[in-house]
């Protein structure tokens, strides 16, 4: 077998390796041939963070800082301790969206980053809604933006189907979902789906594992809309499932039978918001369990294998200290999915203005964005306890993060949970 480098930063003129020498030799050869980014991509450990430089919190008020730098994207390798930054470059983002404003293709080849807001061209102390989605080539050395496509007004959550051939983007300010076909790094508009409620606030679309349905959280209509997919034609079924107060994030278990919906409720006005467990097999789908989790579960992420779901709670930590709802920290909480029940497992304090959450491929590490701190916090997880590890500082307020469809990944060498 003859192995030659086809990408990356290493240089191997060529070498002959006997298959009989085994996997250990092959692994050593690949380590020599591939550059660091290539090795991380091959291991499925890539996370993509969108970082907003247009927004800071001052005494509980979101404002545009003076002379803001451009928004950025950071590519992380979750397989190292601490996670390693592989690339950092400019790309528009926007905090005014679910933290699933980033999507990574199932094969790790490209990422899409939606931008909900941009600086007002007439007054750079303000922001206005945006409609741009950046296409990032993760296989390039280094990864880079290779194009943009136009979605709809206030483009927010974005997801790929399992085949990586279609993507959907929620347009929160116009009550629609933009559909795109995907081939390599070519992303092509394929129409918009009108949800018949302009003020419903569609926030995040996710595909069923077979790609035949899309579930869309409607933040201002308190439900989850169901879309049918037939080839490249997507239509609204007219069915919206009640899902709690202000549904925002949504994650499906690997077989698509259940969904976890994060409800952000009244926002930073006190109270305890919920995670709702939906049975998607029922006719019609319905809520079968829920958990009061605390104030504003902004970001959620399903672990590979679908056994656990993580939620990042803002908990009022981004508010001014004089606010009656202020707390010193946010929280990362882990819940187990056991049949049709949610069970609290553990929690750990986080920094301020908590946003997105992501898992590594073995469900032994979870990362959470702390936007007010320009930091991604890192935790080990053994099935019962979160253990704090060294954080990663990024080049802006991290407000969106995703790995390749983590929940659908086979669980890689995860340690058995402790009893």
Domain ranges (residues) in the chain: 1-34, 35-408
- At a CB cut-off of 8 Å and minimum separation 6, what does 21 contact? none
3-state secondary structure of 403: strand
DSSP string, 298-320: EEEEEPTTSSEEEEEE-TTTTS-
| Ramachandran region, residue 332 (left: φ > 0; alpha: ψ -120 to 50; beta: rest) | beta
Query: Distance between CA 47 and CA 43 in Å, rounded?
Result: 12
169 closest CA partner among 147, 146, 188, 192: 192
By the 10 Å C-beta count (0-12 exposed, 13-18 middle, 19+ buried), 333 is classed as: buried
3-state secondary structure of 4: coil
User: Which strands form 365-370's sheet, in the order they lie side by side?
Assistant: 354-359, 365-370, 375-381, 386-393
**pTM confidence score:** 0.89
Contacts of 338 (CB under 8 A, 6+ apart): none
Three-class SS state of 323: coil
**35 CB burial (10 A radius; 0-12, 13-18, 19+):** middle
State how far the Cα of 51 lies from the Cα of 95, in Å rounded to an integer. Answer: 8
Pick the CATH number of 35-408 from 1.10.3720.10, 3.40.50.10860, 2.130.10.10, 3.40.1110.10: 2.130.10.10
Phi/psi for 293 (5° steps) reads -110, -20
Separation between Cα atoms, residue 287 and residue 272, nearest integer Å: 18
- With 0-12 CB in 10 A as exposed, 13-18 as middle and 19+ as buried, what is 390? exposed
d(CA 367, CA 80): 13
Q: What is the pLDDT along the chain (419 residues), one digit of tens a residue?
A: 333 333 333 333 333 333 334 444 444 443 444 454 454 444 448 999 999 999 998 888 889 999 999 999 999 999 999 999 999 999 999 888 899 999 999 999 999 999 999 999 999 999 999 999 999 999 999 999 999 999 999 999 999 999 999 999 999 999 999 999 999 999 999 999 999 999 999 999 999 999 999 999 999 999 999 999 999 999 999 999 999 999 999 999 999 999 999 999 987 776 789 999 999 999 999 999 999 999 999 999 999 999 999 999 999 998 888 889 999 999 999 999 999 999 999 999 999 999 999 999 999 999 999 999 999 999 999 999 999 999 999 999 999 999 986 555 555 654 444 44
Residue 114 · residue 158 · CB < 8 Å: yes
Contact 327, 313 (CB under 8 A): no
In three-state secondary structure terms, 38 is helix
- End-to-end Cα spacing for the chain: 46
């Amino acid at each position: 077998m003859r192995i030659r480098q086809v990408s990356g930063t290493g240089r191997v003129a060529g070498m002959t390796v006997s298959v009989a020498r085994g996997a250990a030799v092959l692994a050593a050869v690949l380590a020599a041939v591939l550059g660091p980014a290539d090795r991380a991509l091959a291991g499925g450990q890539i996370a993509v963070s969108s970082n907003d430089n247009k927004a800071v919190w001052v005494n509980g008020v979101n404002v545009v800082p003076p002379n803001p730098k451009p928004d950025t994207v950071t590519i992380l390798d979750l397989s190292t301790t601490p996670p390693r930054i592989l690339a950092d470059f400019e790309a528009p983002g926007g905090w005014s969206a679910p933290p699933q404003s980033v999507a990574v293709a199932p094969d790790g080849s490209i990422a899409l980053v939606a931008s909900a807001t941009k600086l007002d061209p007439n007054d750079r102390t303000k922001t206005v809604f945006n409609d741009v989605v950046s296409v990032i080539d993760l296989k390039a050395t280094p990864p880079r933006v290779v194009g943009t496509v136009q979605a709809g007004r206030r483009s927010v959550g974005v997801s790929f189907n399992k085949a990586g051939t279609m993507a959907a983007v929620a347009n929160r300010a116009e009550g629609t979902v933009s559909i795109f076909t995907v081939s390599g790094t070519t992303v092509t508009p394929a129409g918009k789906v009108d949800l018949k409620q302009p003020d419903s606030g569609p926030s995040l679309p996710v595909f069923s594992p077979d790609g035949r349905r899309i579930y869309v959280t409607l933040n201002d209509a308190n439900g989850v809309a169901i879309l049918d997919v037939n080839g490249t034609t997507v239509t609204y079924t007219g069915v919206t499932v009640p899902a709690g107060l202000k549904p925002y994030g949504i994650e499906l278990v690997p077989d698509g039978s259940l969904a976890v919906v994060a409800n952000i409720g009244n926002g930073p006005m006190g109270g305890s918001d919920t995670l709702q467990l939906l049975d998607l097999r029922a006719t019609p789908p319905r809520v079968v369990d829920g958990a009061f989790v605390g104030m504003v579960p902004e970001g959620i992420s399903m672990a590979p294998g679908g056994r656990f779901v993580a939620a990042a709670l803002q908990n009022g930590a981004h508010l001014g200290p004089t606010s009656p709802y202020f707390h010193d920290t946010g929280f990362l909480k882990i819940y187990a999915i056991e049949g049709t029940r949610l069970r609290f497992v553990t929690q750990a304090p986080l920094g301020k203005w908590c946003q997105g959450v992501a898992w590594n491929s073995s469900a032994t590490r979870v990362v959470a964005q702390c936007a007010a701190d320009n930091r991604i916090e890192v935790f080990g997880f053994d099935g019962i306890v979160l253990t704090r590890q060294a954080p990663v500082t990024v080049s802006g307020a991290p407000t969106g993060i995703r790995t390749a469809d983590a929940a659908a990944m086979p669980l890689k060498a995860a340690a058995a949970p402790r009893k």
